[in-house]
């Protein structure tokens, strides 16, 4: 007998009813157009025993009663076609693959043998099998409608006659085969970007070619470029775009100045992080003769220089945002513009787009103007320098800084009274040496100087959005770009509310929007300084909707604004450039733009923003693992920050680095995952691990390829 020949059960072998039913279900699912009677099914399954053949007939009747199969003629059955075809997005959860339907219905499980080489993020058409009651829906990929990506990052494994790309990120179960003549000079152990060129339906491995060699594994530049490439983000600036930008002159001619409001004699300042080079916003302040304050929010006039249709514009749209990794900024615009001509550097005349507010001592806006201006920054402050003036009352331009601080605090107070939510999260930052190696961790906290700038940027954004979105009685609002934030999902909010009760906290989940947001603020105040602070803040954010760009305004829930947009950062965000263009167009009496077309621009910008955020998180994770690799074997205090079916995530209290205790290492019992209550429970001894529990852990492994820390219990 051939070694590979599959054995069929002999007549003496008895199969349980449950196993027999499962085998029959597989046959129907794999042959959704065929009909079977009990004899044909017995033949397919290799069943010869009379009693088992009768059992097959009995199971067929039961499956028919359950509507899993339908009777097409006497004794003949086929799969119930009610499942039909459905489209959606493929997503991998651990080792399992699911289709998330476009209609937001229940996820559909796709067995590995029925994926047709679909990868996480692909859009696919799936045949949905009719499923039995109590079982998760199951389907088979019929067609891949759109690949989410065709380039992948990994490490080259080169042998004398061929090579493979070993993938960093387990988006698929196969490595990529690379013919020797498609290696582009890549050497064993180097990181590379590879494009899939073909994948035979029955082929185990896709075939690819090297697009770019990133460099030696472990080198800081290589690893940062690998993170960008992994998310499909650019890591180099096109030379032709740089060359085109270099031709642009500042062009601050008397003719151009004459078209604008000249504010060069008004005290103006920038307040930014220490390492900032692209200053796209500045503030001015002065007392007017009518005893009101004039506060100017001045924004780099990027669209004066970047013209529609130019290659600079096309590249800016493609990128849609600057990307901020741990150790570098990948700019949206060429450096000549972002750090040079457009940047509001001190003691240089600049073309700006401004919102000028007249406000009283209570920071109530009595009048505003939106206009193109010429400004000149008198001083570049770091946040730390401005903070020192606020705390001591001493320093350059102290009257102006203190006046802005007083007004900002009034604005902030009123914003929270109206229901704005205070998500002031502590950010983890790394001190990095000249080779990109993390040498220490510190926490960045927003102080009054940060909040001063934030309040006036929020006010300018809100004012611009309201100016277009609410044009006055009898006038129709023209198409515009809004930054919208939907109300929280009620189910998520209720689950969050139930979870925090175990810590003794209460959250109001219904009533007026402002009542719910005020309750969230009280909760965030109450957790300050507590061991569960970071956990509860993280879960609170997860219960919220994501803010996105859209031409359909629904307001901004988190800020409690009816109208909001992004106007204040055109050097680093494409939507702000869109807003500047629309403001200028409508100020000149131009017609409304095509809503559908601009909605596409908004969607692209939202998608790219999400990719950039994912890349930033990956770079932080990489540096966390690199930093903790120096502390193998050491013991730290931590808090359980996540529970999954494959393990326990623990965040270290000292530095907020996160690692995992694999469930396989919990060998004192068999643990099952209770998804609703965020916990693992031992079946035998009922020991429970749940979110927020304190733990002492030892650093066991630091895997830089997977950006993963493994802990063991100390």
DSSP code per residue over 618-666: HHHHHHHHHHHGGGTT-EEEEEEEEEETTEEEEEETTT--EEEEEGGG-
Query: Mean pLDDT throughout 627-655?
Result: 90
**pLDDT at residue 5 in the model:** 39
Could you count the other beta carbons within 10 Å of the beta carbon of residue 172?
20
**Degrees (nearest 5) of the Cα angle 258, 380, 377?**
10
Judged by DSSP in three states, 208 sits in strand
* Whether the Cβ atoms of residue 57 and residue 38 lie closer than 8 Å to each other: yes
Beta strand ranges found along 446-572 (DSSP E): 482-484, 548-550
Contacts (Cβ under 8 Å, ≥6 apart) of 139: 83, 86, 99, 108, 109, 110, 114, 126, 127, 128, 129
Q: What is the DSSP string of 84-126?
A: -EEEEEEEEETTEEEEEETT----EEE-GGGSTT--TT-EEEE
pLDDT, the chain, mean = 89
* Whether the Cβ atoms of residue 695 and residue 687 lie closer than 8 Å to each other: no
Distance in angstroms (rounded) separating the CA atoms of residues 599 and 551: 6
Query: Mean pLDDT throughout 196-218?
Result: 89
> Both tokens of residue 423?
């998500």
Query: Mean pLDDT throughout 496-525?
Result: 85
Pair type for strands 268-272 and 379-382? parallel
Where do we find the tokens 């990109």?
A: 436
Question: Is the pLDDT score of 11 beyond 80?
Answer: no
Judged by DSSP in three states, 390 sits in helix
Q: Would you place residue 343 in the very low, low, confident or very high pLDDT band (cuts 50, 70, 90)?
A: very high
Distance in angstroms (rounded) separating the CA atoms of residues 87 and 103: 9
Q: Would you place residue 635 in the very low, low, confident or very high pLDDT band (cuts 50, 70, 90)?
A: very high
Question: Is the pLDDT score of 50 beyond 70?
Answer: yes
Q: What is the DSSP letter of 289?
A: T
Better-scored residue on pLDDT, 261 or 91: 261
Query: Mean pLDDT throughout 39-68?
Result: 87
Question: Is the pLDDT score of 16 beyond 90?
Answer: no
Distance in angstroms (rounded) separating the CA atoms of residues 203 and 210: 20
The tens digit of pLDDT for each residue in 156-184 reads 999 888 899 998 656 677 889 999 989 99
Closest to 454 measured CA to CA, from 497, 407, 496, 488: 407
Query: Mean pLDDT throughout 93-110?
Result: 80
Judged by DSSP in three states, 479 sits in coil
Question: Is the pLDDT score of 475 beyond 70?
Answer: yes
> Both tokens of residue 466?
């309201």
* Whether the Cβ atoms of residue 344 and residue 227 lie closer than 8 Å to each other: no
Which of 5-9, 59-63, 379-383, 504-508 bottoms out in mean pLDDT, i.e. has the lowest? 5-9
Query: Mean pLDDT throughout 442-466?
Result: 94
Handedness of CA 505, 506, 507, 512 (dihedral sign): negative
Please state, in angstroms and as integers, the Cα–Cα distance from residue 526 to each residue in 199, 521, 566, 706, following that order: 55, 9, 31, 36
Contacts (Cβ under 8 Å, ≥6 apart) of 442: 429, 430, 431
Distance in angstroms (rounded) separating the CA atoms of residues 108 and 97: 8
Beta partners for residue 77, in sequence order: 36, 71
Could you count the other beta carbons within 10 Å of the beta carbon of residue 419?
20
Pair type for strands 261-262 and 365-376? parallel
Better-scored residue on pLDDT, 349 or 47: 349
Question: Is the pLDDT score of 428 beyond 90?
Answer: no
Handedness of CA 79, 82, 87, 89 (dihedral sign): negative
Distance in angstroms (rounded) separating the CA atoms of residues 496 and 16: 43
The tens digit of pLDDT for each residue in 686-697 reads 888 888 788 999
Distance in angstroms (rounded) separating the CA atoms of residues 166 and 177: 9
Region of 357 please: left (phi>0), alpha (psi -120 to 50) or beta. beta
Torsions phi, psi for 277 (to 5 deg)? -125, -25
Handedness of CA 136, 140, 145, 150 (dihedral sign): positive
Q: Would you place residue 264 in the very low, low, confident or very high pLDDT band (cuts 50, 70, 90)?
A: very high
pTM exceeding the 0.75 threshold for the entire prediction: yes
* Whether the Cβ atoms of residue 107 and residue 90 lie closer than 8 Å to each other: no
Q: How many helices (H) and strands (E) does the chain have?
A: 17, 33
**pLDDT at residue 491 in the model:** 82
Better-scored residue on pLDDT, 304 or 508: 304
Query: Mean pLDDT throughout 399-428?
Result: 91
Please state, in angstroms and as integers, the Cα–Cα distance from residue 162 to each residue in 177, 193, 208, 501, following that order: 8, 16, 11, 58
Closest to 429 measured CA to CA, from 649, 273, 572: 273
Torsions phi, psi for 459 (to 5 deg)? -65, -45
**pLDDT at residue 169 in the model:** 56
In angstroms, what is the C-alpha Rg of the chain? 30
Q: Would you place residue 280 in the very low, low, confident or very high pLDDT band (cuts 50, 70, 90)?
A: very high
Q: Would you place residue 614 in the very low, low, confident or very high pLDDT band (cuts 50, 70, 90)?
A: very high
Question: Is the pLDDT score of 4 beyond 70?
Answer: no
| Most confident among 74-78, 389-393, 493-497, 534-538 (mean pLDDT) | 389-393
Q: What is the DSSP letter of 186?
A: -
* Whether the Cβ atoms of residue 644 and residue 680 lie closer than 8 Å to each other: no
Closest to 463 measured CA to CA, from 579, 308, 301: 579
Distance in angstroms (rounded) separating the CA atoms of residues 497 and 507: 6
**pLDDT at residue 133 in the model:** 59
């Amino acid at each position: 007998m051939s070694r590979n020949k599959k054995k069929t059960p002999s007549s003496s072998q008895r199969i349980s009813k449950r196993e027999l039913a499962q085998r029959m279900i597989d046959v129907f699912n794999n042959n959704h157009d065929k009909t079977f009677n009990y004899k044909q099914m017995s033949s397919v399954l290799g069943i010869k025993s009379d009693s088992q053949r009768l059992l097959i007939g009995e199971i067929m009747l039961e499956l028919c009663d359950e509507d899993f199969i339908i009777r097409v003629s006497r004794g003949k059955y086929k799969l119930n076609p009610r499942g039909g075809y459905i489209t959606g997005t493929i997503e991998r959860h651990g080792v399992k693959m699911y289709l998330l339907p476009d209609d937001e219905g229940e996820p559909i499980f796709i067995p590995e043998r029925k994926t047709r080489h679909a990868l996480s993020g692909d859009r696919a058409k799936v045949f949905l099998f009719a499923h039995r009651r109590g079982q998760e829906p199951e389907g088979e990929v019929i067609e891949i409608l759109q690949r989410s990506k065709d380039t992948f990052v990994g490490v080259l494994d080169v042998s004398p006659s061929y090579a493979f790309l070993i993938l960093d990120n387990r988006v698929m179960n196969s490595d990529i085969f690379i013919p020797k003549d498609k290696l582009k000079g890549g050497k064993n152990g180097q990181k590379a970007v590879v494009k899939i060129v073909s994948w035979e339906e029955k082929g185990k491995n896709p075939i690819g070619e090297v697009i770019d060699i990133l460099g030696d594994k472990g080198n800081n530049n290589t690893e940062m470029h690998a993170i960008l490439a992994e998310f499909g983000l650019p890591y180099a600036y096109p030379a032709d775009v740089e060359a085109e930008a270099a031709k642009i002159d500042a062009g601050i001619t008397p003719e151009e100045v004459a078209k604008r409001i000249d504010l060069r004699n008004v005290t103006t300042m920038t307040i930014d992080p220490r390492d900032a080079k692209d200053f796209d916003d500045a503030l001015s302040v002065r007392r007017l003769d009518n005893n009101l304050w004039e506060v100017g929010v001045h924004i780099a006039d990027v669209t004066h220089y970047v013209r529609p249709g130019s290659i600079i514009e096309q590249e800016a749209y493609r990128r849609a945002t600057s990307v901020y990794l741990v150790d570098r900024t990948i700019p949206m615009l060429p450096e000549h513009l972002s750090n040079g001509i457009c940047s509001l550097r001190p003691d240089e005349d600049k073309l700006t787009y401004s919102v000028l507010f007249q406000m009283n001592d209570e920071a109530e806006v009595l009048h505003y103007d939106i206009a193109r201006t010429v400004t000149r920054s008198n001083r570049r402050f770091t946040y730390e320098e401005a903070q020192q003036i606020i705390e001591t009352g001493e320093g350059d331009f102290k009257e102006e800084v203190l006046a802005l601080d007083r007004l900002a605090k009034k604005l902030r107070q009123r914003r929270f009274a109206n229901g704005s939510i205070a998500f002031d999260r502590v950010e983890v930052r790394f001190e990095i040496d000249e080779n990109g190696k993390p040498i220490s961790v510190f926490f960045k906290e927003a102080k009054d100087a940060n909040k001063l700038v934030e309040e006036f940027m929020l006010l300018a954004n809100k004012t611009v959005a309201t100016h277009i979105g609410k044009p006055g009685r009898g006038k129709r609002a023209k198409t515009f770009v809004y930054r919208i934030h939907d109300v929280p999902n009620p189910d998520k909010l209720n689950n969050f509310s139930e979870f925090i009760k175990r810590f003794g906290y209460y959250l109001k989940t219904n009533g007026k929007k402002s009542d719910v947001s005020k309750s969230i603020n009280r909760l965030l105040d109450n957790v300050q300084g507590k061991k569960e602070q970071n956990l509860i803040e993280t879960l609170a954010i997860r219960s919220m909707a994501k803010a996105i760009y859209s031409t359909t305004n629904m307001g901004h829930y988190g800020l409690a604004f009816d109208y909001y947009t992004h106007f204040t950062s055109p050097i680093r965000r494409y939507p702000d450039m869109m807003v500047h263009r629309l403001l200028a167009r409508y100020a000149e009496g131009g017609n409304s733009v095509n809503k559908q077309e601009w909605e596409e621009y908004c969607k692209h910008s939202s998608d790219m923003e999400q990719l950039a955020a994912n890349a930033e998180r990956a770079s932080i994770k990489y540096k966390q693992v690199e930093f903790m690799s120096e502390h193998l074997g050491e013991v730290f205090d931590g808090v359980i920050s996540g529970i999954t079916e494959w393990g326990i995530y623990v965040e270290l209290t000292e530095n907020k680095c996160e690692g995992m205790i694999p469930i396989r290492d919990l060998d004192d019992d068999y643990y099952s995952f209770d998804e609703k209550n965020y916990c693992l429970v031992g079946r035998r001894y009922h020991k429970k691990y749940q979110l927020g529990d304190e733990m002492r852990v030892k650093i066991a492994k630091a895997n830089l390829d997977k950006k993963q820390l493994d802990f063991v219990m100390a």
